[in-house]
Amino acid sequence: MPSLSRRSAPRTSNAMLESLLSGTGISASQSSRSRRLRRWIPVVISLLVQVPITIVGVIWTGAYAEYGDAASVLPFSTVLELSSIGAGGIAAIALSLIGPLLLLWIRRYPGPLIAVISALAAADFLIGYSLLSPPYLALAFAIVIAISYGARTWTWVSMIVVWEATLLAALVVGIELDPHRVVPTTIGLLLVLGFAEANRRRREQFEKFHTAFASRREEELRAERTRIARELHDVLAHSLSQINVQAGVGLHLMHKQPEQAAEALASIKLSSKEALDEVRSLLGMLRSESVDAGEDDAPLVPEPDLSRLASLADSVRAQGIEVELTSEISEHTAPALQLALYRIVQESLTNVVRHASATSAIVSLAVEGDDYVVTITDNGVGIDADGHSAGRGLLGMRERAELLGGTLRVADAQPCGTVVTARIPHRSASA
């Protein structure tokens, strides 16, 4: 088995990585053509290296065997006419053809074929002592491909067993081994094996990176879906609960007190307009290409902050619930904190309107030590602390608090009602 004499690109953007890893923009025909190309390249290279050189070597070896040194001064055409190809030459040519052709199936049967190609290379090595033959290049390709496709044990066992059997067969047959050929061949095999192992590790690292990248991308998509669902829930649940209550009031007072029924309808109109504006703004941000194109069907409105708590409290008071609002938190705090606190208060008051059957609620925003603390207390019948009676509202509030490193607690109030307490640390909020 004669000896034979190939990291990651710089860090790129997520879009480029995604395109690289997922094959975005590459058609199925291009992918199939690439696979066929990778399949045939080792075969063609091995044939081009082994077959022509082997044929020439067999011819010149036959000429030297018949004419001695005189063959070196004869034209090649004359040598071709006078030389005879013996059984050894035919066997060498056959070996130079069979080995490369077997590479066509090496990816499907890497284990058995690496053993077969190793045996063919051993036969070529022994025949090569009487003929001029090139390195058995097909073996190098077979080693790299077999190890890359998971046939490590087959490859190492085949190399060790076949190489030792080759040396032993040479002694038995009586071939005088030349150290200048044995040593380079051994070193060449070790180098090819080392390269194959390095290539395998590189492939495994790339696959791990691909898996990690796909997992991270899926987590980001999952988090984004959760965020969108949470925003839509907070907007729609609050607004629709107001609309539902006001519609009931309007229907009840339509004939007895038409003035108050008109006020209820005006409140429904205002609540629905605010809800539509927020939903359209959220959808407009998701459909950024429409905004970039200058479309005005998705107006952007500012994200809710602490300055809107007063109007939020007024909207709940309009539904017959007394709301006491106090806040010690500056309206210049981080936007993420203001949005989280607003949504927590909004969802809590929505639960008060929908589930608590309460007549009053107290909303308090304060700074306690290193924490921002928001507390919402009502005097209603209470809700399930696990959040079952409030749907996914409490889950959304808890997620908002935890995203900023905080906590949310729901407990019974005394003597009746429910108290919701959210704590968010200064450090997490400012980060």
**Predicted local confidence at residue 162, as pLDDT:** 92
pLDDT category at 312 given cuts 50, 70, 90 is confident
Q: What's the fold here for domain 305-431?
A: Heat Shock Protein 90 (3.30.565)
- Decide which of 183 and 10 is more confident: 183
pLDDT band at residue 308 under the 50/70/90 scheme: confident
CA atoms in the 13 A half-sphere facing the CB of 42: 23
Comparing CA positions, the residue from 401, 404, 362, 408 lying closest to residue 386 is 408
Average pLDDT rounded to a whole number, residues 50-61: 77
Residue 115 has pLDDT above 80, yes or no: yes
Indicate whether 326 pLDDT > 50: yes
Report residue 175's pLDDT band, with 50, 70 and 90 as the boundaries: confident
Token pair of 59 as six digits: 């011819």
In the 3-class helix/strand/coil scheme, how is 38-73 assigned residue by residue? HHHHHHHHHHHHHHHHHHHHHHHHHHHHHHHHHHHH
Q: Which residue has the higher pLDDT, 243 or 53?
A: 53
Report the range out of 28-42, 133-147, 210-224 with the highest average pLDDT: 133-147
* Sign of the alpha-carbon dihedral angle for 175, 178, 183, 184: negative
Beta partners for residue 363, in sequence order: 325, 376
Question: What pLDDT, on the 0 to 100 scale, is given for residue 291?
Answer: 44
Domains of the chain, by residue range, sit at 14-177, 305-431
Q: Are 366 and 328 in contact (CB under 8 A)?
A: yes
Mean pLDDT across 71-97: 64
Q: Percent of the chain having pLDDT more than 70?
A: 71
Q: Are 352 and 315 in contact (CB under 8 A)?
A: no
User: How many angstroms separate the CA atoms of 143 and 157, rounded?
Assistant: 12
pTM of structure: 0.51
What mean pLDDT value characterizes the chain?
77
Per-residue model confidence (pLDDT) at position 412: 87
Mean pLDDT, rounded, for 150-168: 91
